[in-house]
Amino acid sequence: MNRTTVLGGWAFALILSATCLGGGRPPLSCGQFSPFTFAIISDPQIGMVALERDRTNFAKVATAINTLPETTRPKFVLITGDLVDDANNRPAGAMFRQVLHEFSMPVYPIPGNHDVTTDGKTFAPALLASYRTEFGADRLVIKQNECLFIGLDSQLWRGPEELARQQFAWLKQQLHDRNNYRYVFVFEHHPLFLNDANEPDQYYNTPSMWRSKLLHLFEQGHVTGVLTGHLHRNESGLYHGIALSEF
């Protein structure tokens, strides 16, 4: 998997090929694969510093991606959460949606902790409902050129438990037909872990109760890679052949 940085830490174009996948497990499907490019943006977090400043920076990312050479221009863009800094800040949400219309390709966001909590930590069902109204589904599936992309709401792994169980069951359903795809990617906001799969729970990782279940499911389901945000820095590694990339 080749990686090209666009605007230093804001967006990444990842070029998929049938022969180079960043150390991940070999593909299961044996069909003819057509390489393509997709981009990842994480944590635009409109309102974190100043509304107009943050909107302008996000718009610059859209322009940079739109003007990439045709050979590397993405088919679509994934946004791995924290669309805004404060879920109750309606002007920030409006600015985010305004910039979305500037992209020349489909854009698929999923929520981060700042999008569905009252303080970055405390989940609020009403904010999840608002997210779904303003930005769309909080979990989704994209199919492109023998590849499957599964977007998740990682804040649900922190509760309430019933919503986490529903999402996990839905995830298992999506992976049921995994053999129909050459590559499978999962994208969500929180990294599964930072340094060790058995590390203690903390703000930046996924709670161990769900982390262990997800890692087992991803390994059994031959997931190619897990793409996350939250850290505001670039990290990558492997877990039992699964590529882990944080942005």
pLDDT of residue 18: 35
Look at 31 and 176; give whichever has higher pLDDT.
Answer: 176
Q: How far is CA 107 from the centre of its chain?
A: 11
For residue 12, what pLDDT band results from cuts at 50, 70 and 90?
very low
CATH number of the domain enclosing 171: 3.60.21.10
For residue 1, what pLDDT band results from cuts at 50, 70 and 90?
very low
Question: Which residue range forms the structural domain that includes residue 240?
Answer: 2-246
Distance of CA 13 to CAs 6, 35, 75, 91, Å? 7, 13, 10, 29
Look at 188 and 72; give whichever has higher pLDDT.
Answer: 188
Average pLDDT, the chain: 90
Amino acid identity of residue 36, one-letter, is: F
For residue 88, what pLDDT band results from cuts at 50, 70 and 90?
very high
Helices (H), the chain: 51-66, 90-100, 113-116, 125-134, 161-175, 208-220
Least confident stretch, 5-14, 138-147, 225-234: 5-14
For residue 234, what pLDDT band results from cuts at 50, 70 and 90?
confident
Q: Under a CB-based contact definition with an 8 Å cutoff, are residues 214 and 178 in contact? A: no
Strand order in the sheet with 183-187: 140-144, 147-151, 183-187, 225-228, 242-246, 235-239
In terms of average pLDDT, the best of 26-30, 75-79, 233-237 is 75-79
SS3 144: strand
pLDDT of residue 27: 64
pLDDT of residue 159: 82
pLDDT of residue 137: 98
Amino acid identity of residue 202, one-letter, is: Q
Helix (H) or strand (E) holding 43: none
For residue 184, what pLDDT band results from cuts at 50, 70 and 90?
very high
pLDDT of residue 28: 63
- Cα–Cα distance for residue pair 179/115, rounded to 1 Å: 33
Number of domains in the chain: 1
For residue 15, what pLDDT band results from cuts at 50, 70 and 90?
very low
- Cα–Cα distance for residue pair 233/59, rounded to 1 Å: 20
- Cα–Cα distance for residue pair 35/27, rounded to 1 Å: 13
**pLDDT tens digits for range 93-108:** 999 999 999 999 999 9
Across the range 212-227, mean pLDDT stands at 97
Q: Under a CB-based contact definition with an 8 Å cutoff, are residues 185 and 227 in contact? A: yes
Residue 9 has pLDDT above 60, yes or no: no
Residue 242 has pLDDT above 90, yes or no: yes
